[in-house]
Structures are given as structure tokens and as C-alpha cells.
């Protein structure tokens, strides 16, 4: 079964085609990476798949539902229920501790449970740092809090935009290991990356150029 079908998707800003008739299919449980030079449309595509933006033309079927037909509030619901987002900029709330940041994600899912939030932090190896504020954590630790936060609703689809962009090698390895664990557990994973190394973790790499799919590589 397909987790995602992107069909003839274009995103047009005035005369600029950020995406131009993109087609893409991702089966459930697969790991895809999206590469391409700066400005090729990677983030635009991720935002559309992640229900944060709508295409100008074309359709996106996510988990058998056409998300291009949905209202913004319905899109927010889908994002909460089905998608775990991991960004390069960590988007942690600066005055909340690691544990509270994870609990905030639970709050959005109407299921605040400190024990479960703590278990999510344990899972990413951060139980001992639970009471620290983001600025008291290293970049790698902050990214792992983001992963704990993304995992809170057992998302079917994990979207990661440059998840290792700011990290050193050992933290990169830790983040990639976590993604592998989630993949083994059945999550579908889509990673946008500039790194060939990171892209090779995927089963398939799609290369965008000028808003179009230029190549599809089986790794
Ligand atoms: N809101 C917007 N309004 C106008 N143009 C936009 C908008 N968002 C993106 N673009 C343009 O669309 C194109 C694709 O942008 P996008 O951010 O998707 O590229 P990218 O591949 O993610 O780049 P990078 O690797 O630098 O993050 C760029 O030319 C960008 O300037």
C-alpha cells in the first residue's frame, strides 16, 4: 500500500515554479530521501507533504486520503494524527524544559502524560537532561528532544528536514540510529538532506532540480 502519492504537483509563485508537475510515490514502511541543490523545491515539497502548505495544482494522497481537498483545520488534524516532524532548526520552546517541550506536543494531542513523555526522552537517551532548558542542551541533545517530541503520537510518517544539518558526527550517528529504529518499527520516513551520506540510509533517493524530479536512485 502507498503511504504517499504526489500527483502532478506544482507550486507557483507569480512566474516562479517552485515545483513543477512533481510525481512521487512512497510505499508504506519505506525510507525515501529528497536531495537537490538550494532552491530546487525540497522544502516546498516537504511543506506540502507535511500538510503545512497546499499545492497550486495537482493532488497529494496521504494514507489514502486526498489532503489537497482539506481545509486548513483538517490539515492541522492530519498533521497531528499522522505526521512526526523533525526540523533542522529545533523549534523548541526556550523557556520550557526538555520534558515540558515533549509534554507540550502531548498537549496538542490532548494526552498529557508525564510518564510517557519521560519514556520518550529515555528512548532518545536524554532522561538525565529532562529538566534542562534548550539552551542548556547541546545541538545534538536538542535534536533528540525534537525526535522525542515527534514520536509522541506514534506517527505513521516521519518527515525530517535536514535532521542532522547542525550536528557533529557522533550526534548525526545517534539521530540516524533513531530513525533506523523507527523505520524498523514500521514508520515511513522521508528525509530532506544535502548530505550524500545521510541520503544513503534511504532505500530510494529522489533528486529535485528546478522544481522537477530529475532522477530517482535506488540506494
Ligand atoms: N513563499 C514563497 N514565495 C515566493 N517564492 C518562494 C516561496 N517559498 C519558496 N520560494 C521559492 O521557491 C523555490 C524553491 O524553494 P525551496 O525552499 O523549496 O528550495 P530548497 O530546495 O528547499 O532550498 P534550500 O536547500 O536552500 O533550503 C526558491 O526559488 C524559493 O525562492
The ipTM, to two decimals, is 0.95
User: Is the pLDDT confidence value at 35 over 90?
Assistant: yes
User: Is the pLDDT confidence value at 42 over 90?
Assistant: yes
Mean of the per-residue pLDDT values of the chain: 91
Ligand 1 pocket, residue 29 CB under 6 Å: no
Structure confidence at residue 117 as a pLDDT band (50, 70, 90): very high
d(CA 85, CA 146): 8
Ligand 1 pocket, residue 20 CB under 6 Å: no
Give percent above pLDDT 70 in the chain.
99
pLDDT for 170: 85
For the chain, list the domains and their CATH numbers. Answer: 2-218 (3.40.50.300)
d(CA 57, CA 47): 15
Nearest Cα residue to 91 out of 42, 150, 35: 150
Encode burial over 34-60: b for 16+ CB neighbours within 10 A, e otherwise.
bbbeeebbbbbbbbbbbbbebbeebeb
d(CA 100, CA 110): 14
pLDDT for 57: 97
Please answer whether residues 124 and 99 qualify as being in contact, where contact means their C-beta atoms are separated by less than 8 angstroms: no
pLDDT for 111: 77
Give percent above pLDDT 90 in the chain.
63
Looking at ligand 1, which residue's alpha carbon is closest to its atom 30? 39
Average pLDDT of 36-51? 94
Structure confidence at residue 38 as a pLDDT band (50, 70, 90): very high
Ligand 1 pocket, residue 42 CB under 6 Å: yes
Task: Convert the pLDDT of each residue in 82-113 to its tens digit.
Answer: 998 887 766 788 899 999 998 988 777 777 88
Terminal Cα distance for the chain, rounded: 21
The residue ranges of DSSP E strands in the chain, in sequence order, are 2-13, 16-27, 31-35, 57-62, 65-66, 83-86, 157-161, 188-192, 204-209, 212-218
Ligand 1 pocket, residue 193 CB under 6 Å: no
Looking at ligand 1, which residue's alpha carbon is closest to its atom 5? 13
Q: Determine which of 29-33, 36-40, 103-107 has the lowest per-residue pLDDT on average.
A: 103-107
Ligand 1 pocket, residue 165 CB under 6 Å: no
Task: Convert the pLDDT of each residue in 147-169 to its tens digit.
Answer: 888 888 788 999 998 888 878 88
Q: How many residues does the chain have?
A: 219
**d(CA 49, ligand 1 centre) in Å:** 15
User: Is the pLDDT confidence value at 28 over 90?
Assistant: yes
Q: What is the DSSP string of 104-133?
A: HHHHHTT---HHHHHHHHHHTT-GGGTT--
DSSP structural state of residue 52: S
pLDDT for 90: 66
16, three cell numbers: 516562479
Structure confidence at residue 21 as a pLDDT band (50, 70, 90): very high
Amino acid at each position: 500500500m502507498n503511504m504517499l502519492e504526489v500527483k502532478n504537483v506544482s507550486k507557483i509563485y507569480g512566474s516562479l515554479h517552485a515545483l513543477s508537475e512533481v510525481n512521487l510515490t512512497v510505499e508504506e514502511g519505506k525510507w525515501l530521501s529528497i536531495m537537490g541543490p538550494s532552491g530546487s523545491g525540497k522544502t516546498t515539497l516537504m511543506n506540502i507533504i507535511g500538510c503545512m502548505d497546499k499545492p497550486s495544482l495537482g493532488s497529494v494522497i496521504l494514507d489514502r486520503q486526498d489532503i489537497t481537498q482539506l481545509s486548513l483545520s483538517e490539515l492541522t488534524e492530519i498533521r497531528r494524527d499522522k505526521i512526526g516532524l523533525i526540523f533542522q532548526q529545533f523549534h523548541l520552546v526556550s523557556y520550557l524544559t526538555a520534558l515540558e517541550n515533549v509534554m507540550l506536543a502531548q498537549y496538542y494531542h490532548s494526552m498529557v502524560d508525564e510518564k510517557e513523555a519521560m519514556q520518550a526522552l529515555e528512548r532518545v537517551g536524554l532522561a538525565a537532561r529532562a529538566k534542562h532548558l534548550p539552551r542548556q542542551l547541546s545541538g545534538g541533545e536538542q535534536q533528540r528532544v525534537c525526535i522525542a517530541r515527534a514520536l509522541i503520537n506514534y506517527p505513521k510518517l516521519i518527515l525530517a528536514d535536514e535532521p542532522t544539518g547542525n550536528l557533529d558526527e557522533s550526534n548525526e550517528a545517534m539521530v540516524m540510529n533513531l530513525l533506523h529504529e523507527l523505520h524498523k518499527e514500521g514508520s515511513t520516513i522521508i528525509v530532506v538532506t544535502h548530505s550524500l551520506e545521510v541520503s544513503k540510509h534511504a532505500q530510494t533517493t529522489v533528486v529535485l532540480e528546478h522544481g522537477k524530479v530529475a532522477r530517482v536512485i535506488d540506494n
